[in-house]
Amino acid sequence: MKIYEIREMSTEELKKRILEEQKNLVDLRFQQELKNLTNTAKLRLVKKDIAKMKTILKERDMQEAKNSKTN
């Protein structure tokens, strides 16, 4: 997922998507342990996507705190 796609999402959508991706990551880890996962690079991509989404959420929280502090 590209960063501009993540930035277009609302905060609620991001939170929902993070939960979905974390569940997906758990499933992928189980598949890897059972030797059913053929594309192991997918684990890394999912983790990176989760990190990107959390970063955007953190940026938004910091921006809101900054705006409320100045007002």
* Mean pLDDT in residue range 33-58: 96
Query: What stretch of H or E contains 21?
Result: helix 11-33
Look at residue 8 and tell me if it is in a domain: no
Residue 16 has pLDDT above 90, yes or no: yes
Q: What was the pLDDT predicted at 24? A: 97
Question: How deeply is 63 buried, as exposed, middle or buried, from its count of CB atoms within 10 A (0-12, 13-18, 19+)?
Answer: exposed
Burial call 14-48: b when 16+ CB within 10 Å, e when fewer: beebbeebeeebeebeebeeeeebeeeeebeebee
Provide the domain limits for residue 50: 40-71
Look at residue 5 and tell me if it is in a domain: no
Look at residue 6 and tell me if it is in a domain: no
Look at residue 21 and tell me if it is in a domain: no
Q: What was the pLDDT predicted at 57? A: 97
